[in-house]
Amino acid sequence: MIFTDAHAEQMDHSDPLASFRSRFHIPKHDGGDQIYLCGNSLGLQPKSVQAALQQELDDWAKYGVEGHFHARHPWMPYHSELRDLLAENVGAEPVEVVAMNSLTVNLHLLMVSFYRPDSERQAIIIEQGAFPSDRYAVESQIRFHGLDPDTCLIEIAADPETGLIAEDALADCLREHGHRVALILWPGVQYRTGQAFNLEAIAELGRFYGCRVGFDLAHAAGNLPLQLHASGADFATWCSYKYLNSGPGAIAGAFVHERHAHAVLPRFNGWWGHRQDTRFQMGPEFKGTPGAEGWQLSNPPIFAMAPLRASLEIFHEAGLPALRNKSIALTGYLEALIRQELDDVLRSVTPHVPAQRGCQLSLQVRAGRDAGRSLFGHLMQHGVVGDWREPDVIRLSPTPLYNRFSDCLGAVRCIKQWAESA
């Protein structure tokens, strides 16, 4: 029943968020729309981005340096225009968030403050198979402190059968090593498998064992309903070019819990982190802005922030609860189609329980890696865009702002075509 055009069209017709698709540029293939299921890697461009960028170009042309004060969106306080929208998107207080830098830069800056190894606590816990940039950053921070990653980097392995990290794996690790752990750095969503984690439970574990806790939310921001303030995590950072649709290399976001807002913490200082009321007195002594903004280094890149503002305005209009409801329905529909039509062809390594995943399904071809590469090439050739992650995973991510149920049906039909011809 579900493998019909009529069924998919009926669900698209009754979708309360269907109109948001028209707010995005959909890449073309053979004269029609691509089936773009790659928002987990690069989100599509909101049509409002062009006007947002053009406004800043026009104001630069019109005002020159006075655009800092007289632009339609004055550049001097521009980052503050994003504050409430960012806070809403990740479940934070406005004082806890800032848009700045890139994810890995933010990760380093925040670890300067929150990874403070001493004679007893020197270790960092991450998941085995973490995104390479995270592992590089963590290993280099350990070496920076004159320590050895072989003893100070603890990696929690996934279950070899499921490829997923067991719910109690972190607790088991902390029972053994908690006394020597300085920092837990954990993903909101594991990039390769799509497994989502209970951030509040992880932060609570960290507090119990006396560890700092930080989150990499690259695959969670804009994908899952986050409650960073309530989680009690010390810090978090995320990129904005995936589900937040802010363009390649987009400016990232950072979160520092408000309990640290006025704390005197080690940090790498820059002038834009200085208190706003005395910043332009150009004094030699750094006095940090309370909250996450105190971690800023340089004045904000306006042309990088304009696309993020345009995207966050769409999220605000659509509403995170409605987006999550559609995400669950879309991903569930894609999974149901695969189970019904392709169970002998594909295996999903993403959890089946909606609360344990976002909108990503990570799929393996049962015939093996070479067949997986063949399928991936077939999909791309026919305008079904996902991505490949070594050694053998195809990621498909139906995102609720611009994907349709008919996209999921089209993708499964394309896979069936490949399977029947293989």
Two tokens at 159?
A: 């279950």
**pLDDT, tens digit, 9 for 90 and up, residues 43-77:** 999 999 999 999 999 999 999 999 999 999 999 99
40 found inside a domain: no
**Residue 193 belongs to a domain with what CATH number?**
3.40.640.10
Q: What is the pLDDT of residue 422?
A: 74
Residue whose structure tokens are 């995207």:
311
* Mean pLDDT value of segment 151-170: 95
**Which residues, in sequence order, are CB contacts of 113 under 8 Å at separation 6+?**
235, 260, 265, 266, 267, 295
* 218 plus 346 within the same structural domain: no
Question: Is 1 a residue whose pLDDT tops 80?
Answer: no
User: What pLDDT does residue 370 have?
Assistant: 95
Res 307 pLDDT > 70? yes
State the pairing for strand pair 28-29/32-33. antiparallel
Number of Cβ within a 10 Å radius of residue 334: 25
pLDDT at 86 over 80: yes
pLDDT class of 394 with cuts at 50, 70, 90: very high
> Which domain range does residue 379 map to?
5-33+319-421
Task: Give me the sign of the Cα torsion angle 342, 413, 163, 196.
Answer: negative
Whether residues 387 and 344 fall in one domain: yes
Shared domain for 208 and 311, answered yes or no, is yes
Do 276 and 339 share a structural domain?
Answer: no
Q: Which of 301, 317, 333 is the last residue of a domain?
A: 317
Does residue 22 surpass a pLDDT of 90? Answer: yes
What is the predicted pLDDT for the residue at 81?
87
Tokens representing 335 are 């999974």
In a domain, 39, yes or no: no
Euclidean distance between CA atoms 114 and 67, whole angstroms:
36
Tell me whether residue 206 is in a domain: yes
Domain limit, last residue, from 259, 282, 317 = 317
Give how many domains the chain has, as a whole number: 2
- Tell whether 150 and 181 lie within a shared domain: yes
Q: Are residues 188 and 274 in the same domain?
A: yes
pLDDT recorded at residue 345: 97
Q: Which of 164, 127, 169, 166 is nearest to 351 (CA)?
A: 164
In-domain check, residue 38:
no
Q: What residues contact 293, with CB distance under 8 A and at least 6 apart?
A: 79, 95, 98, 273
Give the separation between CA 270 and CA 299, rounded to whole angstroms: 9
- For the stretch 89-130, pLDDT in tens is 999 999 999 999 999 999 999 999 999 999 999 999 999 999
Q: Select from 261, 291, 317 the last residue of a domain.
A: 317
* Contacts of 213 by beta carbon, 8 Å cutoff, 6+ apart: 183, 184, 186, 202, 203, 206, 207, 232, 233, 234
Q: Where does the pLDDT of residue 339 fall: very low under 50, low under 70, confident under 90, or very high at 90 and above?
A: very high
One domain for residues 311 and 324: no
pLDDT at 220 over 80: yes
Q: Would the pLDDT of 195 be above 70?
A: yes
Question: Are 348 and 262 contained in the same domain?
Answer: no
Has residue 301 been placed in a domain? yes
Residue 331 and residue 308 share a domain: no
pLDDT, averaged across the chain: 96
65 and 193: one domain?
yes
CA 401, CA 115: separation in Å to the nearest integer? 37
Which pLDDT does position 83 carry in this prediction?
A: 95
Closest CA to 192 of 331, 315, 364: 364
CA separation for the pair 188, 170 (Å, rounded): 14
Q: What is the CATH number of the domain that holds 328?
A: 3.90.1150.10
Amino acid in the structure at residue 76: M
**Alpha carbon distance 85, 308 (integer Å):** 10
- In this structure, the answer to whether residues 297 and 337 fall within a common structural domain is no
The three-state secondary structure class of 281 is helix
Per-residue pLDDT tens over the stretch 321-332? 999 999 999 999
| 207-215 average pLDDT score | 98
